[in-house]
Amino acid sequence: MYQSEITLNDLTMDEALVLYGVNDANLEYLEEYYHCSILARNQQCIIKSESKETLTIIKDILDQALAVIRSNQEFDLSTLQYMVEINDTEKTSMVELKKTPLASNFKGKMIYPKTFGQQVFIEAMKKHDLTFAIGPAGTGKTYLAVVYAVWSLKNNHVKKIILTRPAVEAGENLGFLPGDLKEKVDPYLRPLYDALYDMLGFEATNKYIEKGTIEIAPLAYMRGRTLDDAFVILDEAQNTLSSQMKMFLTRMGNNSTIVVTGDVTQIDLRKDQTSGLKDVQARLSDIKEIAFVYLHESDVVRHPLVKKILSKYE
């Protein structure tokens, strides 16, 4: 049995609470994952393991975690889990991931990529007029696309934002829902509203919508239009038909940016219908001006249980 004593210099009580987790939950996760024991007392951590390499790995993870905390970035159990998962595959420190914010929300909170997959997605949006982000639920596809769209609008790169998604029923028929057409389709567009409220606040979002600077509409409303000087996001693209995807992509006008997001494991179309998102990968993957970004379970930033649930459905 090997033993190592780590001193975390100048560790404050607040930092220790975040680093170790409530009731030492973060340390318990490390113990379970690496089959070791960790005893933490203020600045001192005593690690015991049958592997000498494990001692070095845990020291490196704790040092990185503390650096993230001290850079005033969000740190929780899901962040720690991601650090552990990438430890053997990524050579870049998590601190590097947190150096450049994408934007800030209306409260002044800086928005950073939380995974290296998200960083790749952000860089793709910056460099390409058309980007496809494909991956499971919880990887931040929609949210990051909206964040970058709002940043582009505020910095006068575009004159308007258009957010759309297909109104495909998932177990309920639109005709049985109460209200007029807008009231029927609004629930399908709610994730887009939520992202905008987080970035702009409720009042500012509604003002932009009233002025027409931000437009949120079902995919069918895009037909026949040319979208110039706009940042356009197609969400839930796995539920488009091939004809709808073609219609949407050919709306691209001058100085426009299009981001298409979707999860090919959650298709709500009939079995005899082909998903436009699946079809477009085969058709357009060889066009170098178009970016295809694939996010994975390791990029999930929701509750830690989501990764486990996704792995079981896989």
Asked whether residue 124 carries a pLDDT value surpassing 90, the answer given is yes
What is the pLDDT at residue 185? 65
DSSP codes, 225-291: --B-SEEEEE-SGGGSBHHHHHHHHTTB-TT-EEEEEE-TT---S-TTS-BHHHHHHHHHTT-TTEE
Any idea how long the chain is?
314
Pairing of strands 44-49, 37-41: antiparallel
- Spell out where 62-209 has E strands: 103-104, 110-111, 130-134, 160-165
pLDDT digits (tens, 9 = 90+) for 266-290: 888 888 899 999 999 999 999 999 9
The neighbour count for residue 45, using CB atoms within 10 Å, is: 22
User: Could you tell me how many helices (H) and strands (E) the chain has, helices first?
Assistant: 12, 11
pLDDT of residue 239: 92
Q: What are the pLDDT digits (tens) for 201-257? A: 999 999 999 999 999 888 888 888 989 999 999 999 999 999 999 999 999 999 999
Contacts of 275 (CB under 8 A, 6+ apart): 238, 239, 240, 241, 264, 267, 269
Q: How confident is the model at residue 240, as a pLDDT?
A: 93
Q: Decide the pairing of beta strands 160-165 and 44-49.
A: unpaired
Residues 258 and 128: their CA atoms lie apart, in Å, by: 9
Tell me if residue 100 falls in helix, strand or coil: coil
Architecture per CATH, 2-97 = 2-Layer Sandwich (3.30)
CA distances from 209 to 54, 68, 71, 227, 308 (A): 54, 37, 35, 17, 38
Give me the residue spans of the domains in the chain. 2-97, 103-313
Question: What's the CA gap between 228 and 308, in Å, rounded?
Answer: 42
Task: Determine if residue 255 is left, alpha or beta; phi over 0 gives left, psi from -120 to 50 gives alpha, anything else beta.
Answer: left
The Cα–Cα gap between 122 and 102 comes to 8
Least confident window among 97-101, 175-179, 187-191, 217-221: 175-179
Q: Which of 89, 135, 119, 116 is nearest to 296 (CA)?
A: 135
Q: How confident is the model at residue 34 (pLDDT cuts 50, 70, 90)?
A: very high
Q: How far apart are CA 131 and CA 148, in angstroms?
A: 12
Q: Does the domain spanning 103-313 belong to CATH 3.40.50.300?
A: yes
pTM above 0.85, yes or no: no
Q: What is the DSSP string of 34-62?
A: HT-EEEEETTEEEEEES-HHHHHHHHHHH
- The mean predicted confidence, pLDDT, of the chain is 87
Let me know if 7 is exposed, middle or buried by CB neighbors in 10 A (0-12, 13-18, 19+): exposed
CA distance 108 to 73: 13
The whole-number pLDDT of residue 218 equals 86
Find the range with the poorest average confidence among 90-94, 174-178, 278-282.
174-178
Interval 285-313: pLDDT, tens: 999 999 999 998 888 877 767 777 777 77
